[in-house]
Structure formats: structure tokens, C-alpha cells
Amino acid sequence: MKPRRIWAVARKEFLHVLRDPRSLGMAVAIPVLMLVLFGYALTLDVDRVPLVVWDQSATPASRRLVSRFDGSRYFSRVGDVDNYRALERAIDTRRALAALVVPTDFARRIEAGRPAPVQLILDGSDSNTATIALGYAEASVEGFAREIVLERVRRVGASLPPGPLDVRLRVWFNEELESKNYIIPGLIAVIMMVIAALLTSLTVAREWERGTMEQLISTPVKGPELIVGKLAPYFVIGMVDVLLAVLMGEFFFDVPLRGDVALLFAVSAMFLVGALSMGILISTVMKNQLLASQVAMVATFLPAFLLSGFMFAIANMPLPIQWITYVIPARYFVALLKGIYLKGVGLEILAGQAALLGAFSVVMVLLAIARFKKKLV
């Protein structure tokens, strides 16, 4: 391959991008827009669950229990009800996702030292939120129960024996347990995969549709030189997108970047080469811009979003699906990004994922070069 020919093709492609505001906008503005939209809209944090209360007891003891929920950051009391029909309506209209029912004999049972049942009703149509809210509610009720036991012990002047276990929780890498800290790095992988493949999926197909492929074929430019030349400008644009995403994660979303920035850009470059080559491969096969863009979207967004471990833990997937994830390059890029961003680890830990990502890039480049033929048919 001759650098002069590669530069000629790359310069042509650069000029096309600069002269086409739509292409430039899709290359730069769309990744930023997607990062803002997904970064704010996509969250797994469960805070301020709307709660209605039916306090049938209306005693100091029941109000103490309810205050446990009022004082929790995980629940937001939106009102009180006095019958099950009103309670059901609050949940049916989604004004509330949870309802706390305190029976009439609650205080009497507490004073008598007997178990006092309390009912918690959850909207199971949102199973994830309901499961997490159930855990929060159980913790609030258990805290109230411990207070009651301690008060009884103090009344008789006794002391509680030390517990057999002293559990002290410590969360590593994401101390606040904020979902944005691991969503943003994974989101960078998904956006880069989609945008990179979409950009290059139009390049060769555009030449065929506009009739300029015949001119390229008649030139001395070889197939590998044409592929590399067409990749070069979009690789530069992709790296600019990575830089913007990193800056937004650091200053816009306050996501900690604990690892090596140079390593982050190195693995991003490997991933971009593979994703861009995949788009070129799709473009050479389809030879139609509309069809190529549709195939690129299906082949990149769905696997990267669903099967990369970005949104759903791979270990929880059925075994056949777990095997399929091994051929999804975004899986390795997501693992690399989370390792660099949150754990601050390097190649001593991430060498395996980096090697597989590099293999994907090499294979995609070779397939794109092999598939492109300087022929009219």
C-alpha cells in the first residue's frame, strides 16, 4: 500500500464529510445528544418510590412506623387513604407504586409483646422497582422492630447480648451505588459501535449509488488502499467523539475516571477500527445506502445494547445466549471501559479483553479488504 494513494482517498472522504453538514452532524452531534438523553433518562436507581398509607391504628406506635418511611430517601409519601378501593385506585393510576397498611390492633399487639402484622402492597407491573422497594421496606420495618426490642430490654433493666456477627458493609469502585457511574462508560461503547458502523456503512454504498465507483475502479488505487483511506477520516471523527464522551462523563455527569487515560483511548481506537471496518464490510455487501444503514443498525445497536453486559448481567442470561455474547465485540469494550473507569486497573488485569478486542478489529479489517473487489459486478 502506498501512503500517497491512501491520503488521496482519505482527503476525498474528508472533503465529502465537511461539505455534507448532515454527515458531520450525525458524526458529532448525534453521539453527544444520545449521551445526554441516555445519561439522564436511563437510570437504575430506585429513589422516592411513591407511597400511600392507610393507618388504621392511628396511634403513636403506628405513626412511628410510618415516620420510618417518611424519613427514608427511598420512599415519597404522596397521600393517605382510608379504604382499599382508594388504595387500589392510587396504584391503578400509578399515583403510587406502594401502599402501607397498618391494622387497627397494631399498637395493642406491640404493647402486649405479640407479633404485629403490617401489610405492604406493591405494583408488580414494574417488577424491578417492586423488588428493590420491597428490600427497602423490609429494612425500614426491621429497623422499627429493633427499636421496639431495645425499648423492652431497657424497661426491664437488662442488656442485649452481643450479636454473633458484626457485619460492616463496604462498597468498592462505586461507593454511592449510583447507576450513572457504570451506565455512562457502557453507554460510550454502545454509541461508538452504532455511530461508527452507521458512518462507514454508507461510504462504499454511496459510491455505487452515485456512479462514482467506476471512476475509483479505473484508478491505480488498490482495494486495501481504498478501504484504509475511507476508514481514516471516520477514525479521526470517532476519536473526537470518544474525547467528547470522556469530557462529558468527567465534567457533565461527574463519573470518576480512575484508570489510565492513554489506555482508555488506545482500547477505544482498537474498537473503532473494528466497528468502522464492520460498517465498510456491510457497505460492500449491500451496495445500497438505505439497506446498509438498516443492517448496520440491527447488527450493532441491538447486540451492543442487550448482549454486551451494559444493561443486563451476562451471568443471568440463559447459557446459549451467554455463548453468543462471546462474539459480541461490545462485550469486551464494555468490560474494558468499566475496568478503566471504575476500578482503575490496567492491562495486567484487562489483557485478555484487550487481546480479543484487537482480534475483532483485525478480523473485520481483513474481511472488509477481502470482500471489496475492484469489479463492476
Q: 211: exposed, middle or buried (C-beta count within 10 Å: 0-12, 13-18, 19+)? A: exposed
pLDDT confidence of residue 43? 67
Please give the Cα distance from 192 to 244 (Å, whole number). 11
What is the tens place of the pLDDT at every residue in 169-206?
777 777 776 777 878 888 888 888 877 777 777 776 67
Beta bridge partners of residue 55, listed in sequence order: 102
pLDDT mean over 274-303: 80
User: Which segment, 29-43, 140-154, 233-247, 259-273, is predicted with the most confidence on average?
Assistant: 259-273
SS3 content of the chain, % helix, strand, coil (to 5): 65, 5, 25
| Backbone φ and ψ of 55, nearest 5° | -95, 90
Query: Do 311 and 151 form a contact (C-beta atoms < 8 A)?
Result: no
What is the tens place of the pLDDT at every residue in 304-316?
888 888 877 888 8
Give the strand order in the sheet containing 75-80: 75-80, 49-55, 98-102, 119-122
Please give the residue that has the higher pLDDT: either 292 or 333.
333
pLDDT confidence of residue 71? 81
- What the chain holds in terms of domains, given with CATH numbers, is 8-43+178-371 (no CATH), 49-155 (3.40.1710.10)
pLDDT confidence of residue 99? 92
pLDDT tops 90 at residue 52: yes
